[in-house]
Amino acid sequence: MLCTLCPRKCRADRAVRPGFCGLGEEMLIARAAPHLWEEPPVSGTRGTGAVFFSGCTLRCVYCQNREISHTGAGRPFTPRQLSDTLKRLADLGVHSLSFITGTPFIPRILDALELWRPPLPLVWNTSGYEAVESLRLLEGAIDVWLPDLKHFSPRMGQLCAKAPDYFEHASAALKEVCRQAGPCAYNEEGIMTRGVLVRHLILPGLTGESMKLLTWIRDELPPGTPVSLMRQYLPCGEVGVPGLDRRITEKEYRRVRDHMLLLGLPGFLQEAESADSGFIPVFNAPESFI
């Protein structure tokens, strides 16, 4: 079958050769373990059971998880093995289960959920670069959507991820998941059981892009959609884009934060201490799997 699961629509026959995402037919997972560092309504106090899939449809030049997004390092899993892993994570008492960059494996993830539907909120965590028709395959299966909204201009989409159409697709995808989820709902522990939480990572020198994206969220998404404003940008390896070789400054952070507050967007502001490479998970090691 020729793959059109993401907006690249590269039509790779993944049984024969990988597509842009670097992935063949086999489902590859680089980490499956409790994760404490998502936003409070996802991680709570006991963490989310996070399954990190290998490969990525976006492959940003500055990716902090490039070990898996750019190299595809990971272990092969069948839907049965994924289902068993989800059970083990749930048995540990996590608040939710998260699928991280699972887009290239949507049919196999759905197969796993056919085998066992976890009694926990299921979270879909991606770059936001999604095809609406693929998101519709997930309707009814996913409870909480945790998409990034990264780039506003075609120029930055092209420079950072060879995706000049990033905003076109990410904005359509956000509207689709807001339609699917409806208003946010929370349980008695403050864990999101339904809804959309939009993430935005501020990039150095690009506060203008951040502010345009936040204004778009205010104008185009349902009122009350929460936003997580992230400041942890760390240049990883050879970024190759002028200006992206440094962290953001305090002044840049405050400029975007103040804009978010002025717009009245609810959500989360990240602490400065979390801009540390110690928060990057270990992938594809014995301790990466429960």
Site for ligand SF4, rule CB under 6 A: 3-6, 8-10, 12, 14, 19-21, 23, 57, 103-104
Closest contact distance (angstroms) between CB of 11 and ligand SF4 is 7
Closest contact distance (angstroms) between CB of 237 and ligand SF4 is 21
Strand order in the sheet with 144-147: 75-77, 27-35, 48-53, 96-100, 122-126, 144-147, 192-196, 185-186
Our CB check for ligand SF4 shows the closer of 25 and 84 to be 25
Classify burial at 243, counting beta carbons within 10 Å of its beta carbon; exposed 0-12, middle 13-18, buried 19 or more: exposed
Our CB check for ligand SF4 shows the closer of 84 and 111 to be 111
Task: Please provide the DSSP assignment of 236-256 as one string.
Answer: -S---STT-SSPPPHHHHHHH
C-beta nearest to ligand SF4: residue: 19
Closest contact distance (angstroms) between CB of 4 and ligand SF4 is 5
Closest contact distance (angstroms) between CB of 115 and ligand SF4 is 23
Our CB check for ligand SF4 shows the closer of 104 and 226 to be 104
φ, ψ for residue 85, nearest 5 deg: -65, -40
Amino acid at the residue 121: P
Our CB check for ligand SF4 shows the closer of 109 and 230 to be 109
Classify burial at 1, counting beta carbons within 10 Å of its beta carbon; exposed 0-12, middle 13-18, buried 19 or more: exposed
Our CB check for ligand SF4 shows the closer of 3 and 112 to be 3
Closest contact distance (angstroms) between CB of 114 and ligand SF4 is 21
Query: Taking Cα atoms as reference points, which of 172, 257, 266 lies closest to residue 218?
Result: 266
